[in-house]
Structure 1
């Protein structure tokens, strides 16, 4: 109890979550007066990041930085515009489709929202869309970032759950496509109700020219995802090749990437990677102490009194994870919940850890779009000036359909495991 109160106290005053976890672990060790645990503390932290799979995290982050610097993101948006055409609400479809294309490289919801808000919201405003709706739609498009590979959150889950990184990345493809299609359905229905404007009509020649100019940028997601699916490379190797491919495309195809910008890009990538990896190291200590204190066993005993089958457990987990995701960012949320819930899911209810990982990640990402915090809405607000509360209200149908998708994934494991069989 003392450890829990201390953890909540330091978290509420704004101490970074990784530091909170380490300090709470020290308080717990002091409370039980165990010198042996103190000696093992640094060993557990080092062991948490002593994983080959974690090398993929800084490489995926580097890919996103190079893409932004090389103008590749904007060309992916142009490619989406060429495919959608002049349908009612066309630019809303483009927003989601462009987010899906970009998410196959960036892999971070908040980073994607910040980037795409700058690209899509002004363009949608020009064509008569409400700025609040445009910003809110971009937020839900950013939800695809941590789901469609590459995904930093899936890499972190893989390390926490001790499952293959490649399997987790592949497991996110079908759920990402499902969410995209469901978002299209919502846009179609809302388009008729609110009479969304049509996109600018383009001739076949214009579309072909845009597609020809932008199609080389698709080499990057093809290299990353294709090499994993084909077995040519593991996720870490494919991330390294993807970083080289993004630099070459940015330099010789789009001609906007400059090699003299690499020091700045590498520094930004290193800072963000260090934050993520420190969280993973803190998670290792946190998980180790949870197991030592038999917390998973106590939680499992309570859960079994409420949930009597795997589906009921997953639905209960959806509620718990969504609530946690509303107040805690994605990776810290993984760190706090996976060590407790994963053993219950796999050992008590025999749920495939990869299926459970997809459910966990989508819940925590959806929490970024939920009150009372709604971090992604605040990111979009900082870029566009739209009000976070109004964004949530006008895009409520997207929140509802995302919850429907979670229920579908809970009921039908094949939606996440289909490509792994």
Structure 2
């Protein structure tokens, strides 16, 4: 599943989404199919435990509240679908907060099917105070009346401390419903034993692909899963888009989107193993049969297990007619949402504010879980900048396209993947403009019901 990029000065680090981004939602790292409405991100994937798990820690007793920490009181319940390693870090941070705020109890409850659980419980008045998921749920949950606005809490001085895309990711139709804590997108993961320096231009990237491409011996120029999420970078490179959140219109037949699709299938696909499958493409890189792979932070554990000496860099810009065009892959922002019917809003806000704006807390999330921070003061921390994974994906996040928030986006994924599947039947001879126009009509029909 998937995460981000920034490094040095990042107040402009996450691109405010024209948008959409990006991702970090549920999807699959073991499937080549695109996520239903979100990017393949491990953090937001459901956990296949047989039953829900409630985790809480008794608040330590003999503690005092630090002057800068605002404390509420009572219980704050947070629903999630995190992996065990993520929960461990979140729980540790909650315990740290409860040590400072002994009148507050933070309780985490794991829900194997978080979306269904929330949709059933919140209308019945039995939902949590908070829940954790990618930003792309914000539209459909707000439209369904399942979120609590926090407009009176999110002040300009707080908002301005976050990267632009993160600011965009927590609001919908003029209201704030969540706070952000990380971002993710895809980037180039390269084998340093094969590629000494990452490509800084697409021409350099293509030269590397040409050098290593040897399909007769099952070696290739690049490993790259192919679906709507993964190749969004190229569809959006020249100004195209799958869906525009602002106009709520699909753009599969836009000339710039068509140009991006043609670019990918003419300049990248020929250097790949002829399969869209995620597992196959990743294996090619892990088996050192390709010098580069396009993937997200969720894949790094497997890269490390394969003992690959790797580096990470953003997809490089394309130069055309004297102008630079950056590939813009979908990206996502991880949010903590406020649920409608919240029982302890004041205490929940104070905890969330601390969790998302405490430099130490944000830094711990990043260093322990590889999360790409969106709280800009942390981006300049030497420990963050010296971490090759965080730093590399942080650079990639700069160019990401925030995944759409509109509920209408759910009608778009199938059409885009349908177009890709039709092109893949005969990539060398496919009438890409005609195929994209056909599936544009399919998407419009789905949106209009």
TM-score for both structures, normalised by structure 1? 0.24
TM-score for both structures, normalised by structure 2? 0.23
Structure with more of its chain in strand, by fraction: 2
Structure with more of its chain in helix, by fraction: 1
